[in-house]
Amino acid sequence: MVAPASPTSPGRHAAGLCDTCRHQREVRNTRGSEFSLCERSRYDPAYPRYPRLPVLECAGHEPRAADASPGRTSGS
């Protein structure tokens, strides 16, 4: 079963909680596939680098600032 597209990004599959988490970074490969990378996995091995989507529960979820978009950090 395919997840519905996210309302914020047409054609993109919903990543669940990751879509609103400050630790998410969207990664695109050379073939155009998109993946949801959990930056928290870099310093905490309890979190998978590329979690199975959609993520419905996550103890490490931290809401992203309202004006920040996925894959962007402040100062970019």
In one-letter notation, the amino acid at residue 62 is E
CB atoms within 10 A of CB 19: 21
Q: What is the pLDDT of residue 14?
A: 87
**Helix-strand-coil split of the chain, %, nearest 5:** 10, 20, 70
Mean pLDDT on 6-19? 71
Whether pTM > 0.75 for this model: the answer is no
At 17, phi and psi to the nearest 5? -60, -30
Delimit the domains of the chain by residue range: 1-64
User: For residue range 17-76, what is the model confidence (pLDDT) as tens digits?
Assistant: 999 999 999 999 999 999 999 999 999 999 999 999 999 999 999 999 875 666 654 444
Polymer length in residues for the chain: 76
